[in-house]
Structure 1
């Protein structure tokens, strides 16, 4: 994967040191897209930060999103002219920002963009995620044209889920990028 820059897109409140995204950053040198405000996320601001990170990359990118990061990918892809630089997106445990409680906690992120993504994508979601019902995750994956992987009962697939370095997730990312490279040849 040396020919691809992995951009990590944490969700609301960022990913702490025990989160698999932080572990991937340390293990593989993946780059976290920094946001101005992790506690009060503004959709437009987050999209600009992603746009700038993709623009600054010196090679094609893979987007690895968790929770609100998944919703960010869909919103960004609907408006960016840089989508051709994306080889694929691994979308993990999307947060349902159309749900009343989340809409109040994280205003400005509804409605969720439901257009087909212009690049290969794989969504991984748990059956018992407290921030998104399993049926909603499946519907988002379908609308985005993403392969869906049922992770079973793993909650929000964060540090509390006990995923550690989450090698299964890295394998899914590698498979996604390998398939994307084959499709382009």
Structure 2
């Protein structure tokens, strides 16, 4: 499992950090968490995916979701990704975020070439629910409404977030063969 944190990384109480400790997931470290450059972040993700011994699964948060879409639009190695959990995408097209995180707008709106689930909250301060639904539609991801959980980060009190892990497990679980009643 590859963890793709957003701007400023994920701190100790964040579900991504907890998953890293609990499940041994691999955090894709970026060169600069405070001044993220889309090209640099995409190149780093590409390096990590190419270095992986086999297929990978992505668990992205906030700017990590925007990274996933940008990387997938340009990489020739998307077949190495089995699926992606996209949590609380940051709306980098918003004026306030556009100035804080320049160079990430416009958001890539191309269907992802692998299965994906996007989890959004009704009260996310960085991306309203309608925008999250729109992104899910463009990316071909199933949308899951998390309710009033904020930015789905450490401040949301998710702890180990077993519900998120269950969504991810269901996404990548191989289809079960159907049996005939005869």
TM-score by length of 1: 0.94
TM-score by length of 2: 0.96
- Which of 8, 16, 29 is the equivalent residue of 1:13? 8
User: Deviation at 1:182?
Assistant: 2.6
**Superposition map of 1:21-60 within 5 A:** 21-60=16-55
3-state secondary structure, aligned to 1:132: coil
In the aligned structure 1, how far is the partner of 2:160 from the partner of 2:128?
Answer: 25
Q: Which runs of 4+ in 1 moved over 2 A?
A: none
1:161 corresponds to which residue? 156
In the aligned structure 2, how far is the partner of 1:138 from the partner of 1:119?
Answer: 18
1:143 corresponds to which residue? 138
1:114 corresponds to which residue? 109
In the aligned structure 1, how far is the partner of 2:78 from the partner of 2:25?
Answer: 19
In the aligned structure 1, how far is the partner of 2:94 from the partner of 2:8?
Answer: 18
In the aligned structure 2, how far is the partner of 1:38 from the partner of 1:182?
Answer: 37
Say whether 1:83 aligns with 2:92. Answer: no
2:89 corresponds to which residue? 94
In the aligned structure 2, how far is the partner of 1:56 from the partner of 1:17?
Answer: 26
2:180 corresponds to which residue? none
In the aligned structure 2, how far is the partner of 1:86 from the partner of 1:68?
Answer: 18
Give the alignment's Cα RMSD to 1 decimal.
0.8
Greater Cα radius of gyration, structure 1 or 2: 2
In the aligned structure 2, how far is the partner of 1:32 from the partner of 1:56?
Answer: 14
3-state secondary structure, aligned to 1:11: coil
- Which of 156, 166, 175 is the equivalent residue of 1:182? 175
